Structure 1
Amino acid sequence: MMRIHRYYDVDVVNGPGTRCTLFVAGCEHQCRGCYNQSTWRLDSGTPFTLEMEERLIADLQDTRIRRQGLSLSGGDPLHPHNVPCIRRLVKRVRSACPDKDIWLWTGYQRAELNCAQREVLTYIDVLIDGRFIEAEKDATLLWRGSRNQIIWDLRQERIERAI
């Protein structure tokens, strides 16, 4: 079972617009200078329950506070232990909330992803990949912490492939 550290039902920092943001437990990269070291251990945090998933979906569908989408961070959502739960979650969000975008941060580089991790990408809109490298830290960057990290607009790639 995947574990989480924090869930923000209203967040304006981790991606564009107002969002729901989920920080998962488990990261094997353990980057020097990471701002979220408490999320590294897989057994830290609390279980991500069906009740929590239902709450997240309800928050995304809430019309009183309009959310642009869901942000997944951590830890690492694409840690092999987290992938089955993350895949199920993004698939459900895509189905239940088709007008919401999904952003995901991972320490893995896109080229390193295995088949199960790449399957998650078919349901998300934006991937920010790459380990945080302290020597490349740049506080002026949008949505990422170090210059080596890449923002992949998967929506645009799908559009280009369809043309």
Structure 2
Amino acid sequence: MYIVDYKKFDVINGKGLRHSLFTSGCTHHCKGCFNAATWNFEYGTLYTQELEDRIIADLNMPDVRIAGLSILGGEPFQNVEGLLSLTSRVRSECPGKDIWIWSGYTFEEIVSEPAKLELLSRCDVLIDGKFVLEQRNLKLKWRGSENQRVLDVKKSLREEKAVLLS
């Protein structure tokens, strides 16, 4: 897996002070995508164990209230294998930290594939749906177009349907 960037102290991509990982690779190719360079699966740098260890350490920084980790792309759900270890470690080694993930896939598409569902089940919030240029709205929080949803993953999985984050 390649990553485009890792940003510490991000306040844009999710609630609270967070760290954000941007994965490379996306086959959605949404018209008007602001991050089209990330479509290439080998764009950026190779994801390493050292980076994963750093992310875990950064999430557990003493004296700094980090809310959690945001995973964006590219398309994270086209990098499932590379993200399973990281999300598992966040769950076990970073108590109280949440995981937000962005995807061009819908909740319904993700839960229909076991590997994608495994990754989703480790997350707390899903922003789902492809970016639709004709529905672009710069006033929306955490999403770029009207069709995209901000979902509570745990409630959605429990109720077996998409549940908006309240």
**Fold similarity call, TM over 0.5:** yes
Structure 1 match to 2:20: 21
Are residues 1:112 and 2:104 paired?
no
Structure 2 match to 1:44: 43
Report the TM-score when normalising by structure 2.
Answer: 0.91
Seq. identity, %: 46
Q: CA deviation at 1:112?
A: 1.5
Q: CA deviation at 1:64?
A: 2.8
- CA distance in structure 2 between the partners assigned to 1:93 and 1:136 by the alignment: 34
Are residues 1:131 and 2:130 paired?
yes
**Unpaired stretches in structure 2, ≥5 consecutive residues:** 161-166
**Unpaired stretches in structure 1, ≥5 consecutive residues:** none
Q: 1:78 aligns to what SS in structure 2?
A: helix
- CA distance in structure 2 between the partners assigned to 1:63 and 1:153 by the alignment: 28
Structure 2 match to 1:88: 85
Structure 1 match to 2:139: 140
Distance change >3 Å, CA 36–CA 122, structure 1 → 2: same
Structure 2 match to 1:56: 55
Q: 2:84 aligns to what SS in structure 1?
A: helix
Structure 2 match to 1:5: 4
Q: CA deviation at 1:122?
A: 1.1
8 Å CA contact retained: 2:121, 2:154: no
- CA distance in structure 2 between the partners assigned to 1:28 and 1:86 by the alignment: 18
8 Å CA contact retained: 2:25, 2:38: yes
- CA distance in structure 2 between the partners assigned to 1:157 and 1:33 by the alignment: 29
- CA distance in structure 2 between the partners assigned to 1:144 and 1:57 by the alignment: 26
- CA distance in structure 2 between the partners assigned to 1:132 and 1:49 by the alignment: 29
Amino acid paired to 2:93: A
Q: 2:76 aligns to what SS in structure 1?
A: coil
Q: CA deviation at 1:98?
A: 2.3
Structure 1 match to 2:75: 76
Q: CA deviation at 1:38?
A: 1.0
The number of aligned residues is 158
Cα displacement string for residues 43-88 of structure 1 (whole angstroms, at most 9, x for unaligned residues): 1110010000000000000023221000000101101xx1011122
